[in-house]
Amino acid sequence: MIVLTGIFVLLFAPFKIGIEYRNSKMKITIKCLFVKIKIDDSTFKNGKKSKAPNTNGGKTENPGVIEKIKNLKKGYDNMKDVLGDVLALLKDKAEFSGIYIRVKYGTGDAAITGMVYGAIWTFVGNVYGFLCRYFRIRFPELELEPVFGEKVFEIEAEGIITTRLVHIITAAFRSRKNILKIKKERF
């Protein structure tokens, strides 16, 4: 009886997910009552590091802003059905707070960098408006640092998502059809 009560309390207690991305490393902190779990970048990589030889004289290649945006769009296109299911099922049951984003970027061309500045603000406004339809969310604190003379892309972000574990489990269970479809397409 005590175990069932404990499980019931965990399912309906506030569940906070803190997400932090700095220096190309992700850190997730999950808190629910007396349980606290920290997951860092090494957990996602399974401890495997690429030991491929560096063939460009010791310089590390940094993909440009446009390539990173294309990669983000490709990832979104792969997961949009699952994301749509989860958003619809979590509607008004989650809250985003403490969102901070800092972006330092440059394309090497001052004119294009200026256009990217406007595109980022447009993107933020659209995403914020979209998320407001589904969640309680405060406008993020956003720092944009354009670099007009060189190619650079660095991003730092952090935020907290608060919901209940039962809502996450329900959303994952109901969206399993789309998750299985994506896994089937990849393999």
What secondary structure does DSSP assign to 39-105, as a single string? EEHHHHTTT----PPP-STTPPP---HHHHHHHHHHHHHHHHHHHHHHHHHHTTS-EEEEEEEEEEE
| Intervals of the chain under pLDDT 70 | 43-66, 76, 78-82, 182, 186-187
pLDDT of res. 175:
74
90-112 pLDDT, tens digit each: 777 888 899 999 999 888 889 98
Q: 30 and 14 in contact (C-beta within 8 Å)?
A: no
Q: What is the CA radius of gyration of the chain?
A: 20
pLDDT of res. 54:
43
Q: 21 and 155 in contact (C-beta within 8 Å)?
A: yes
In whole angstroms, give the CA distance from residue 83 to residue 80.
Answer: 5
Which residue from 136, 163, 166, 133 is spatially nearest to 17, judged by alpha carbons?
A: 163
pLDDT of res. 158:
93
Give the burial string for 127-158 (b: 16+ CB within 10 Å, else e). ebeebeebbebeebeeeeebbeeebbbeeebb
| DSSP-derived secondary structure letter, 147 | -
pLDDT of res. 142:
92
Beta strand 95-107 pairing with 151-164:
antiparallel
pLDDT of res. 64:
63
pLDDT of res. 174:
75
| DSSP-derived secondary structure letter, 172 | H
